[in-house]
Structure 1
Amino acid sequence: MDEFVENLKRMKREGDSQAGKRPMTNKRKKIDLAGQTKKTEEKRKLKRKPESELKQRPEAQEAPERPRVIENKVKKKKPVERKTGPKKKRRKLSPEEIERRRKKRQKEQILEIIKFVLPVVIMAAIVFVFIFKTSPHMVDGDSMNPTLINGDKVIVTRTKQPERYDIITFDPPVDSDFQYVKRVIGMPGDAVWVNGTDLFINEGGNMPENIEETAANNLPDGTIKVTLSSKALEQMEQIDKIPENCYFVLGDNRTNSTDSRDFGLVGSSSIEGIVSFRYGPLSSIGWIS
Structure 2
Amino acid sequence: MAEEGPGDDIVAEYLGQNRHLVQWVESLRGICETNKQWFARREFLLRNMEAFPTIEPGVSSPSLDKLISLSMVWANHVFLGCRYPQPVMEKIKEMGEGIKVRDAPVRTTRDEIMAKLRRPAPSDGNSDSGIKKSKPSSEDSDNKGTPKPSGAPPKWGPAPDAPATHQPFFNRLYKAVAWKLVSEGGFGGPNLDHYEVLRSCVETSKASLTCVFVPLKDIPDLPASRAQREGQVCELRCQTVYLGTGYGRDDAAARAMAAKEALKAFQGRKVMVKIYRRRFQGRDVEDMVLVDDQTRGSTFPPALSYPFQPEQSGS
TM bin (shorter chain): under 0.3
Using CA pairs under 8 Å that are at least 6 residues apart, name the structure with larger relative contact order, 1 or 2.
Answer: 1
State the TM-score, normalizing by the size of structure 1.
0.20
Greater share of strand: 1
